[in-house]
Structure 1
Amino acid sequence: MATSVEGSYEGLAPFNWPTARKPLHTWYRVFGDLSSSVTPLVCIHGGPGFCHNYLLNHRALTDTHSIPVILYDQIGSGLSTHLPETASSTDFPDFWTVEIFHEQLRQLLTHLKFEGRYDILGSSWGGMMASHFAHLRPAGLRRLILANAAASKAHSIANRKRFRERLPQEMQDVLDRVEKENAWGSKEADVVMTEFSRRHACTVFPFPEDVMASVRASNEDTTVCYAIGDNLNGNPFKSGGYMGSWTMEGKANMIEVPTLVINGIDEFASGDAVKPFVDEIPDVRLITIEGTTHSPNLEKKEEYMKIVGEFLTAP
C-alpha cells in the first residue's frame, strides 16, 4: 500500500536554468505547516533519475514531531520537467552536473519562502548531492542528514562489485555474460539484479508500492542516469562521465552544520563508503542501523524515524 498523502498539498515551482532552452518546473509536496515555528525538512531523493515516492513515509515526522516535510522531484525525473533532449552531450555539453540540482534546490527554497532556516535529509544520491550543497555553506541550512549516501561514487561502486562476488555462481555467470554482451536491459539481467536489490537495496519484498512507483518512473526516462554517468551504458557496476569522478573526500571538512550519517549493513554506503564523512565533518554522528541495507526508512521505519526525529528536534 502506498503512503497516504492525505492532508498534504502539491505544487509546481518555476525553475530557471537558461541552458535548458525551455521553461522548467519543480514538482513538490508539502506535509505540515510551513508557517509554524518548527524548522522544515527538505527530503532529497536518490538516483540520479529516481523520484520522491520511496521517501513519502517521512510524513511520519510531521505526524509525530510536527516537522513540516517537503519532498520534490529533481529536474529530469518524476513529476518535474523532463529533458530527454539533453541526452546528447554534443548539443548539451556539461549540462548534467551537481550544480543544476543545487540551483533547483535554491530556487525551490526561495519559492516556498523558508530559505532562511531549513534542514535537509538526502537519501542515497540525494545525500551525495546534499553533502556537496552543504560544503558550500548555504545560508539557512541548520542540520544535515546523509542517509545511505556514499562519500564518493568510487566507494559505492566498490561495494557493488564486492556484493556481486557474493552472489551464487550461476548469478555471477549471468552478469558476466550480460556485461560482455552489454545486455543490461535483458530479462535475465533484470532477474539477477532484482535479487541483488533484495539483498542490498531493500530487504522488504515484495518491494513496497512507494518503491515501485519510483522504480517505474526511473525506468520510463533514463536520460539523467545515463547522461550524468551513474550507470555506464546501463551497467550498474561501472560509472563514467561526471559521476565517475565524483567525490566529497577533501571537501566534507567544509560542512559546518551538525550532521547525522545513517547507513545499513552490506549496502552501497556501508563501511569505508562513509568514512570520509565521519573523518572530515567536524560535527558528525554515524548511526548504522542493524538489520537494514540501503532502505532503513522502509526496513526499520519506526527505529529510523525515531533516530531522525530526535536529531532534528534536539536542542
Structure 2
Amino acid sequence: MHALHQGWLPVDGGHLYYETVGTGSALVFVHAGIADCRMWDAQFHVFAQHGHVVRYDIRGYGQSTFSDTPFAHRTDLLALLSQLNIDQATLLGVSLGGNIVLETALIAPARVKTLIVATSAPGGYQFTGNPPPKWSARAVAQEAGDWELAAELDVQLWLDGPRRTPGQVDAHLRDTVREMDCIALQRAAERDYLLQPFEPPTIERLRDINVPTLVIAGELDEPNILAACHVLSERIPKAQLMTMQGTAHLPNMEQPDTFNRIVLDFLQTI
C-alpha cells in the first residue's frame, strides 16, 4: 500500500487540510456540503491503486479553517493542485463538490482532464415546486443553533431522500453523515457569507465545458437534483449520465462498490 501524506495548504484567510496517496494520473475528490473529506473513505485507497489521489476539506469544513477573508472554493482547488505540482487532474465532486469542479473546469480548462459530477445542481439552476417542510424546519433549527436537529434533518433530506424513512437507511452511515454535518453547520453563517459568486452562473456556461464528463444521479434523490443531473448530461457536450438505483444524494457512501466500479469503468474509457 502506498504511503499516505497529510498536509495543510496556507490560503489567503485560512488553511486547507488535505491527504494524498498513490502515484500516476491525478484524481481529486471534492466532498458534499453536508460532509467533509471523510466521505471518501470507501474510495480513497481503492483509487490509489490506479493513480495519485487527493482528498481535502474545503474551506470552513472538517479540519480546514477560514477567517473573515472573502474566498472561492474554485480558486482554493486550483491552489491545491499547484501546491501538489499537479498540472492536470480528473476532478470528482458530489453535490456542492460537483459545483466546485464544474466552476474549476470553466476557469481553468487546461488543468482538468476529466470531470465526474454526482448528484449536483449547477450554480444558477432553478428548483421548481414547493420545498419540503423539512427545509424550513432545518433552517429554524440552524438559526437556533440546534446543530444536532439541523444535521438530522439534513440527513433525512439528503441521505435518506424523499422516498425513504430513516429506518430504511444504514444507521452507522446516518451517524457518520450527521457528525460531519454538525461541524459544517456550526460555521455555515460566517463561512457562506464570504463566498464569492461565480458569474455568469454555471448553468449558463455548461456548453463551454469540453472534457469527457460523467454525471451520476441517485434514483432516490430529491427530484430537482435528478432533473439537474439530466440538464448537466444534456448540455455538457461530452457528458454521459449514469443513474444509480437504490441510493439518494450520497451514492459513493451508500453503495461504494457500485460507485467505484462505475467511475473506474468510465476512467478506463478516457
Shorter-chain TM range is: 0.7 to 0.9
- Say if 1:43 and 1:70, in contact at 8 Å, map to a contact too: yes
Give the whole-Å Cα distance in 1 for the aligned partners of 2:183 and 2:221.
23
Deviation string 1:127-172 (CA, Å, 9 cap, x unpaired) is 11111111234323111100111124554x54781xx26xxxxx79
Match 1:260 to one of 199, 208, 214: 214
Change (3 A) 1:189 1:125: closer
Match 1:61 to one of 39, 43, 46: 46
Deviation string 1:9-47 (CA, Å, 9 cap, x unpaired) is 2012232x3xx4xxx3221101212xxxx3110111122
Is residue 154 of structure 2 the alignment partner of residue 200 of structure 1?
A: no
Is residue 204 of structure 2 the alignment partner of residue 250 of structure 1?
A: yes
Counterpart in the other structure of 1:52? 37
- Say if 2:119 and 2:226, in contact at 8 Å, map to a contact too: no
TM norm structure 2: 0.81
Match 1:27 to one of 17, 22, 37: 17
Give the whole-Å Cα distance in 2 for the aligned partners of 1:30 and 1:195.
31
Give the whole-Å Cα distance in 2 for the aligned partners of 1:252 and 1:151.
9
Deviation string 1:55-111 (CA, Å, 9 cap, x unpaired) is 222214335x4222100111222222222xx2xxxxx6xx25xxx222211121111
Match 1:125 to one of 79, 84, 96: 96
Give the whole-Å Cα distance in 2 for the aligned partners of 1:253 and 1:144.
14
- Say if 2:93 and 2:99, in contact at 8 Å, map to a contact too: yes
Change (3 A) 1:153 1:53: farther
Q: What is the Cα deviation at residue 189 of structure 1?
A: 6.1
Counterpart in the other structure of 1:114? 86
Q: Structure 1, unaligned stretches of length 5 or more?
A: 87-91, 166-170, 230-240
Change (3 A) 1:147 1:189: closer
Q: Structure 2, unaligned stretches of length 5 or more?
A: none
Is residue 266 of structure 2 the alignment partner of residue 282 of structure 1?
A: no
2:17 aligned partner, one-letter code: W
- Say if 1:76 and 1:224, in contact at 8 Å, map to a contact too: no
Give the whole-Å Cα distance in 2 for the aligned partners of 1:213 and 1:187.
8
Counterpart in the other structure of 1:215? 181
Change (3 A) 1:60 1:291: farther
Match 2:121 to one of 133, 146, 150: 150
Deviation string 1:263-291 (CA, Å, 9 cap, x unpaired) is 11242463321233122111000001011
Change (3 A) 1:214 1:137: same
Deviates more, 1:139-148 or 1:208-217: 208-217
Cα RMSD (Å):
3.5
Deviates more, 1:217-226 or 1:184-193: 184-193
Identity across matched positions, percent: 22
2:161 aligned partner, one-letter code: H
Counterpart in the other structure of 1:74? 58
Q: What is the Cα deviation at residue 7 of structure 1?
A: 4.0
SS in 2 for 1:249: helix
Give aligned pairs, total.
264
Deviates more, 1:53-62 or 1:266-275: 266-275
Counterpart in the other structure of 2:250? 295
